[in-house]
């Protein structure tokens, strides 16, 4: 287990993102292929939330990649993002993005595993 938690189901995947260059095309693609219901576009971030909990899935987002061609990331819920990053680094991973607090919302961070795969952690 990444970080010892009191939860009985460990640390579940709770969010995903698909980020790319042409967000309009990505939104159209995922809506058409999978029938995903998207929230309104946040114009400042060019980002739409994907509503999935009602269908037994997880929440997600489709938005603009900050740089490069884009990527897909999943996020694991933890109690403390910094404690998770500390454990990740002790076990051979690297911090990619230190913890960021979204005003009125979650705190997230990104890390690379020992093979370079980038994933995220979220604390609510």
Higher pLDDT, 5 or 20: 20
Q: Quote the number of domains for the chain.
A: 2
Mean pLDDT value across residues 19-29: 93
Question: What's residue 108's pLDDT?
Answer: 96
Q: How far is CA 96 from CA 5, 68, 83, 93, 119, in A?
A: 23, 15, 15, 9, 9
Mean pLDDT computed over every residue of the chain? 89
Question: What's residue 68's pLDDT?
Answer: 83
Q: Is the pLDDT of residue 9 over 80?
A: no
Same domain, 84 and 48: no
Question: What's residue 4's pLDDT?
Answer: 47
In a domain, 6, yes or no: no
Mean pLDDT value across residues 31-55: 88
Same domain, 34 and 65: yes
Q: Which structural domain range is residue 52 located in?
A: 19-70
In a domain, 50, yes or no: yes
In a domain, 12, yes or no: no
Higher pLDDT, 67 or 15: 15
- Say how far apart CA 120 and CA 124 lie, in whole Å: 13
pLDDT band at 63 (very low <50, low <70, confident <90, very high): very high
Burial of 63 (0-12, 13-18, 19+ CB in 10 A): buried
Burial of 65 (0-12, 13-18, 19+ CB in 10 A): middle
- Say how far apart CA 59 and CA 84 lie, in whole Å: 21
- Say how far apart CA 107 and CA 124 lie, in whole Å: 6
CATH of the domain at 85: 3.10.180.10
pLDDT band at 8 (very low <50, low <70, confident <90, very high): low
Same domain, 83 and 66: no
């Amino acid at each position: 287990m990444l970080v010892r938690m009191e939860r009985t189901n460990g640390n579940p995947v709770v969010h995903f993102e698909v980020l790319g260059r042409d967000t309009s095309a990505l939104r159209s693609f995922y809506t058409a292929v999978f029938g995903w219901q998207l929230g309104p576009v946040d114009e400042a971030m060019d980002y739409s939330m994907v509503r999935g909990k009602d269908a037994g899935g997880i929440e997600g987002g489709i938005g603009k990649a900050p740089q490069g061609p884009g990527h897909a990331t999943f996020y694991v819920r933890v109690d403390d993002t910094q404690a998770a990053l500390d454990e990740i680094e002790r076990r051979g991973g690297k911090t990619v993005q230190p913890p960021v607090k979204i005003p009125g919302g979650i705190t997230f961070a990104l890390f690379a595993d020992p093979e370079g795969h980038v994933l995220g952690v979220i604390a609510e």
